[in-house]
A and B are shown apart, each in its own frame.
Chain A
């Protein structure tokens, strides 16, 4: 795979993956487009620039790990992994279909290159901490990145893990909150308000970086800052737009968990041309 630090090239990859995932979800007739589109720059910046990994050696011990704790954004992860060469690009359109490696939510039994099975919200931060502790015990330099949903962090286990991560100084993990402000039943502020969210993470002892989650240079800078932050874990609070890149999906709670119609898919692809 070709990695790049060039923001223009990374943005082009984002666009190609957005096109792919909209088609995958349309073909599947179910799924969660909004949360994949909001997380696209975060996932692409990690896999195509920041993370140390090698598709030729998928289980290389020294690789950086990525956990998609918000497992319903599986399409952006699958399309990124396929683009890297970890799995079959041509099979992406079998998403959610019987026998597909691309299960509705990430499942290592069907796609062994995944680092974890996720989809039951709230569990990924703990898994990342476990992996971080393992690396630390081995004196290894690999790092673990975990992408959290904003609705997801209403789960109590996230805050159990947040306490643990700071208390045990697990500084080789990075949490990223895809703060798109929409969850299944509506806007986060109407379901279970999270604000003041940066203060909450700071209060739990994390190094917090707030940024625009679609700003690739800002993401690159934040991951570098996280790398240099010792003695405490880093939380990147990424302000994003649900459905980013497709005008009629942007900030529209309907597209948290509803597949586009074929006509909507065509309209989306025209915008993503």
Chain B
């Protein structure tokens, strides 16, 4: 549909900010929605919900494992709990609780990890969540969502609340470009084709979606027609769109702000291998990062449009 669309990519709100506002709206429309946080509500932005709904907000202190299991208990009692913290803490410290108290019984718990990726910047690598998608996708029954911008986050928070079952939502700290207009519809498990293309497909989630659009524009100037897909739902994967892209463009690049091991890339590769094998390249992280400004880090660790475009040129060279 968005043929020859030109994207302004004006800077918008951070996805964590969009999450916080969307959660507040959910709180107004659905009394079953409750929220938990682990002493980071002013960073995860559950602070908005906590002010309007103090009785439905549970401050857990710095105890993520307890928070997740209490959330599972609230879900078992019929609530729709959103448990939030920095993604690295809620996914790594509470993984066992996510496994046995949430995934095994398939409870209706929503886990929101903010400050994902390396773009958190100065706080440094102990606070950077670069394995969260691998962990979340490993949990049977979990739906895993990584929105690209504030518009898609706002919509997908609502979809997550409507979905019955455990969900992991990934959010970032920094402001990111606006990709979507207000009218866009979002459905869990249905990717969105942002640019048409016939030579190569660029698949991304999170802030790498905007970078992939920029990469496609660079490639267009080189007479390469690049399709761009926002794979906002990392699990369940939109295998049909991936198969179609592989068949129609013959080459695939996956770009993500996550370790290359265990992220969207390997999941797309699995789908490509199962449906229509074509050459692939991957733009992601291969190590832990360091302190710096977000821009410095995205440059140094190769998460830019230029890196995506370079990967596209590599994969085109391998195309049969």
Contacts and interface: CB of A to CB of B under 8 A. Distances in A.
Interface of A: 61, 107-109, 115-120, 122-123, 126-135, 137-138, 156-157, 160-161, 163-164, 167-168
B130 to A, nearest CB: 25
Q: Interface SS of chain A: helix, strand, loop or mixed?
A: helix
A207 B97 CA distance: 27
Given A107-B104, A137-B55, A160 B73 contact: no
Contact of A134 (B66, B77, B99, B106): B77
A133 B77 CA distance: 8
A156 B62 CA distance: 12
Given A126-B66, A126-B97, A160-B63, A133 B73 contact: yes
A131 B72 CA distance: 8
B266 interface: no
A133 B63 CA distance: 17
B152 interface: no
Contacts of B105: 108-109, 116-117
Contacts of B65: 122-123, 126, 156-157, 160
Contacts of A123: 65, 69, 96-97, 100-101
B78 A134 contact: yes
Contacts of B70: 126-127, 129-130, 133, 161, 164
A105 B181 CA distance: 50
A127 B76 contact: yes
Contacts of A116: 72-73, 76, 101, 105
B78 A117 contact: no
30 contacts: A61-B78, A109-B105, A116-B73, A116-B101, A117-B100, A117-B101, A117-B104, A119-B100, A120-B100, A122-B65, A123-B96, A123-B97, A126-B69, A126-B101, A129-B73, A130-B70, A130-B76, A131-B74, A131-B76, A132-B73, A134-B76, A135-B77, A137-B56, A157-B66, A157-B69, A160-B61, A161-B66, A161-B69, A163-B61, A164-B61
Interface string B34-58: 1000000000000000000001101
B161 interface: no
Interface residues of B, number: 30
Contact of A120 (B58, B63, B96, B106): B96
Interface of B: 34, 55-56, 58, 60-61, 63, 65-66, 68-79, 81, 96-97, 99-101, 104-106
Contacts, number: 104
A145 B69 CA distance: 16
A192 B56 CA distance: 38
B65 to A, nearest CB: 5
Contacts of B81: 130
A182 to B, nearest CB: 24
B73 A137 contact: no
Nearest to A162: B66
Interface centre among B69, B78, B101 (most CB of A within 10 A): B69
A92 to B, nearest CB: 22
Given A118-B100, A123-B97, A160-B65, 5 more contacts: A120-B99, A122-B65, A123-B100, A134-B74, A161-B66
Contacts of B97: 123, 126, 157
B60 to A, nearest CB: 6
A161 B70 CA distance: 8
A130 B75 contact: yes
Contacts of B63: 157, 160, 163-164
A175 to B, nearest CB: 13
A65 to B, nearest CB: 8
A163 B66 CA distance: 10
A213 to B, nearest CB: 25
Given A128-B73, A157-B66, A133 B61 contact: no
A168 B58 contact: yes
Given A109-B105, A123-B69, A130 B74 contact: yes
A129 B63 CA distance: 14
B71 A130 contact: yes
Interface centre among B34, B66, B72, B104 (most CB of A within 10 A): B66
Nearest to B106: A109
Contacts of B60: 160, 164
A128 B68 CA distance: 12
A156 B64 CA distance: 11
B239 to A, nearest CB: 25
Contacts of A156: 65
